[in-house]
Amino acid sequence: MQSPSAIPLARSFPLSTKSTPALGRLLIDDKAVSSSIVSTATTWKVQELMALPPMHLLERCNVYVSNTEPAIVAQRIAECLRTQSIAATFFDDEAKVQAETREHVQFTIRLWSDKDQVVVEVQRGAGCCFLFCQASKAILRAAKGSSAPKAMRRFTIPGCVPQESVEERKQLIEDDLEIASSLLKKDRLDAHMLGMESLCYLSNATKCCSFAAKSILGGECFSTLLCLVQSFRMHEASRDETLSDMEEKHFAMMHRHALTVLANCLVALEESGELEQVLSLQKELLSESLLQCLVEEVAQATTRPHDACQAVRCLQSLVRASSELKTLACHLGASKALDSAHREGVCRHATLEQESGKLQLDIGNH
């Protein structure tokens, strides 16, 4: 008996950052690009495509696009990344994009040429598989010029199904917050990440948002949140400790989660009309150090657009709640930082463009 031949599997190793020698190149004429595509993204200016190597096994997330100039395909993808608010770094010479969603899903997009067609390949690098699938489907649809799918139908819960009372919901929030707090107290990085992700979900709850926000900002997690926002550390005492590369990446993710939690809480309290009351109790939210940290975060929009977007959301609620904070924010250079963030948003991040535009209106009359 002879064993069956091996079945080629999808490649699971990362794409090489070095250029593979091309067996043939498909040249692009910039003048042939359709003028119907509005280049609002930092456009992905692809000059040439490498031929798909014969031994290269494409990832499952791929699509062949025919009868379309490669430059147009690149523009479609760049615009999709912008509208989806996916941070992207473009490598024109390699026809490659390194992208990251706000949920820390990292992936690579690569263009090849094969049989007079453009091949679009999307490879996951890190993060949630489900969220990656959602992002990759949107990108591949955009590459083909397809319209977005119809929104899924939503069904209401039948009246015969017993509903939780408000008190029961609040008790569940308190229980979940206690679990998150216990996770943040452990000495393991994975426990810290689980605790912070739990706080993200709690602060974004569709029901009892203001109660969850007050519980978070008034609880023992509050000091940890502020330290992560201002120092990228769990505790102020460990601010000067030397970290490994893995720990640096971990705390960068924790920092973004902390900004998201703080922004969600401030927005929820502003919408419920309780923000000023909470600010009077939590004086740390009125501190110059926190405001300066948020302004500096906005100024880093070019390198960290997702973090800048959450910092803008925090500033929106704070400056609308206090005229003193608005004055202080302007003194710290918020206007200049917002101009830079808004330009970055126009180019690469639709949500950042929208949120920074709102904040510019809030402080524009100052």
Q: Is the pLDDT of residue 237 over 80?
A: no
pLDDT digits (tens, 9 = 90+) for 179-206: 999 999 998 999 999 999 999 999 987 7
Residue 61 and residue 16 in contact, taking contact as beta carbons nearer than 8 Å? no
Q: Is the pLDDT of residue 3 over 80?
A: no
Closest CA to 275 of 319, 315, 321: 321
What's the pTM? 0.83
Mean pLDDT of 52-62: 91
Lowest mean pLDDT across 38-52, 142-156, 168-182: 38-52
Residue 48 and residue 101 in contact, taking contact as beta carbons nearer than 8 Å? no
| 2 band by pLDDT with thresholds 50, 70 and 90 | very low
| 14 band by pLDDT with thresholds 50, 70 and 90 | very low
Helix H segments across the chain? 70-83, 129-143, 166-185, 189-203, 209-217, 222-231, 245-272, 275-281, 288-299, 305-321, 323-331, 334-348, 350-364
Q: Is the pLDDT of residue 296 over 60?
A: yes
Q: Is the pLDDT of residue 149 over 60?
A: yes
Say how many C-beta atoms besides its own lie within 10 A of residue 57's C-beta.
Answer: 12
Residue 365: the pLDDT is 54
Mean pLDDT of 91-103: 93
Mean pLDDT of 240-265: 92
Mean pLDDT of 82-103: 93
Q: Is the pLDDT of residue 13 over 60?
A: no
Average pLDDT, the chain: 85
Lowest mean pLDDT across 1-5, 154-158, 194-198, 269-273: 1-5
Q: What domains can you pick out in the chain, each with its CATH number?
A: 25-143 (3.30.310.80), 168-364 (1.25.10.10)
Residue 165: the pLDDT is 86
Packed helices 222-231 and 209-217: angle between N→C axes, nearest 10 degrees: 80
Residue 305 and residue 348 in contact, taking contact as beta carbons nearer than 8 Å? yes
Q: Is the pLDDT of residue 42 over 70?
A: no
Residue 351: the pLDDT is 95
Exposure on the CB side of residue 158, measured as CA atoms within 13 A? 2
Structure-token pair, residue 79 = 């615009």
Lowest mean pLDDT across 13-17, 156-160, 336-340, 345-349: 13-17
| 88 band by pLDDT with thresholds 50, 70 and 90 | very high
Which position has the token pair 């690098």?
125
Percent of all residues in the chain with a pLDDT value above 70, rounded to a whole number: 88
Which position has the token pair 């899903």?
105
Q: Is the pLDDT of residue 34 over 80?
A: no
Higher pLDDT, 350 or 32: 350
Residue 205: the pLDDT is 77
Mean pLDDT of 88-116: 93
Residue 161: the pLDDT is 85
Lowest mean pLDDT across 20-34, 94-108, 138-152, 347-361: 20-34
Lowest mean pLDDT across 10-14, 74-78, 271-275, 298-302: 10-14
Percent of all residues in the chain with a pLDDT value above 90, rounded to a whole number: 69
